[in-house]
Amino acid sequence: MELRKVTSENLFSIVKLTVNESQQNFVASNTESILEAYVTVTAGNVALPFGLYEDGKLVGFIMFGYGGIGEEDEPKICEGNYCIWRLMIDGRFQGRGLGKKAMEAALSYIRTWPCGKAEYCWLSYEPENTAAAGLYRSFGFVENGEMDGDEIVAVLKL
């Protein structure tokens, strides 16, 4: 699995990716995510969006954050730590173990410390998204009791 920065060359292919209909309530569209990344970066904060490629083919999208973005209700764990803000595999490519490969690639990337050292990586997910919860637990993410809006926060010690 390869992470490639969002560029003018792959932007429109990335925004066309979508999850299966049953998962659409669990993840923002890639268009919304890229817009959020833009607003976050222009406000002086960190958002790192990437296309996910398997054997040279675009199969998904992932976005990282680092530190807080200044929202009043953001989880305390965000300060000085990495976040896997978005992760999606296009519906056409699901069921092939690519979510697991994406998580492996994501954690390898984070451990290169692109924004500086951190103790934790955190993420959040909808309580009903049992597939995501199982994937995250398999990598060692543990719920820490915090919520990010209506989503459960889970953390991994790096």
How many domains, in total, are found in the chain? 1
pLDDT band at 76; cut points 50, 70, 90: very high
* Residue numbers of the domain that contains 107: 2-157
Tell me the three state secondary structure of residue 40: helix
Bridge pairing between strands 120-125 and 151-157: antiparallel
Q: How much is the mean pLDDT over the chain?
A: 94
* 68 or 14: which leads in pLDDT: 14
Which CATH number covers residue 8?
3.40.630.30
A 10 A CB-CB count for 97 gives 11
- Record the pTM: 0.92
Q: Note the pLDDT of residue 9.
A: 97
